């Protein structure tokens, strides 16, 4: 049987995933709302589909696996809103379904540790919508669902180096604040490991081994570039938008023991230090 992944919202993480699958013989169909994203989807090895405008063209009956990256809105999960009944009817013949959620569903823990068994207590509307979407997917009988709660994502094209070079970066400081993060290539590796070892109903935290203050990450990026560290600015004086401020409303350290123990994952980038060094090295090797 040919393995076919139908990927809803084929963005940054899903494209990294398809770059692992396609060379191994997979067919990947990636949806997007924007035709301007077609080139990036094709570059990942996937076939783009404009959706929901071309809903009839989606290969629902031939898909063996599904990945849902498209985020929920106030109206609910957009994939379920349009295709929930169809997906429920196909649940028994699908091999694996992955849903990309966020560690924001845990809410604020004052810098304390959380794991997959920590009760959900989101403190932002974004986190609430994700928790509601998780529950909606979990409610489909017989669906081989795997939920992946992602920490802050970084990787090629999403590193801090451009802002540091341009002198526009600021080390915004809130005492005691830490963030967990995860390199996009490690996300793809965890998804691939889950497909090899499926466990319907599983929930996994995806993060590295080193929750760290954001100012430390920027300072290290500057050090790698041989530049002075960006100026420190107290959070109260940073003039952040309400959205920007909301990221600092939650403070927690996320455990990743389960992906190692159950899926046998060995992180390629266990801390931001290895991840930033790899991004910078790739940038320097890229032809001018």
40: tokens are: 């990036």
Q: pTM to 2 decimals? A: 0.96
202: tokens are: 């599983």
128 vs 287, which has greater pLDDT? Answer: 128
| CA 171/CA 222 separation, integer angstroms | 11
- For residues 231-239, average pLDDT: 94
| CA 84/CA 22 separation, integer angstroms | 27
pLDDT tens digits, one per residue of 68-107? 999 999 999 999 999 999 999 999 999 999 999 999 999 9
pLDDT tens digits, one per residue of 134-147? 999 999 999 999 99
pLDDT at position 247 is 87
pLDDT tens digits, one per residue of 189-219? 999 999 999 999 999 999 999 999 999 999 9
Mean pLDDT of the chain: 95
């Amino acid at each position: 049987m040919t393995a076919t992944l139908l990927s809803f919202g084929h963005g940054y993480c899903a494209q990294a995933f398809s770059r692992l699958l396609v060379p191994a013989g997979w067919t990947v169909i990636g949806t997007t709302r924007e035709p301007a994203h077609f080139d990036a989807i094709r570059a990942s090895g996937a076939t783009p589909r404009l959706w929901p405008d071309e809903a009839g063209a989606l290969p629902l009956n031939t898909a063996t696996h599904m990945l849902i990256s498209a985020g929920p809105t106030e109206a609910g999960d957009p994939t379920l809103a349009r295709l929930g009944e169809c997906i429920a009817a196909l649940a028994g013949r699908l091999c694996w379904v992955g849903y990309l959620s966020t560690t924001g569903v845990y809410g604020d823990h004052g810098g304390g540790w959380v794991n997959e068994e920590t009760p959900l207590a989101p403190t932002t509307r974004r986190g609430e919508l994700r928790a509601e979407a998780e529950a909606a997917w979990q409610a489909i009988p017989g669906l081989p669902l795997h939920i992946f709660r992602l920490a802050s994502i970084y990787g090629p094209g999403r590193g801090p180096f451009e802002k540091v070079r341009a002198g526009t970066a600021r080390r915004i400081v809130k005492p005691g604040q830490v963030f967990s993060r995860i390199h996009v290539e490690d996300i793809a590796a965890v998804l691939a490991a889950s497909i090899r070892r499926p466990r319907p109903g599983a929930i996994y935290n995806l993060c590295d081994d080193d929750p760290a203050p954001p100012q430390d990450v920027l300072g290290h990026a500057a050090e790698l570039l041989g530049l002075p560290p960006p100026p420190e600015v107290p959070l109260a004086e940073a003039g952040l938008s309400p959205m920007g401020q909301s990221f600092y409303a939650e403070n927690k350290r996320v455990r990743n023991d389960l992906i190692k123990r159950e899926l046998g994952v060995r992180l390629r980038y266990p801390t931001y230090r290895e991840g930033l060094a790899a991004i910078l090295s790739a940038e320097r090797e890229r032809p001018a």
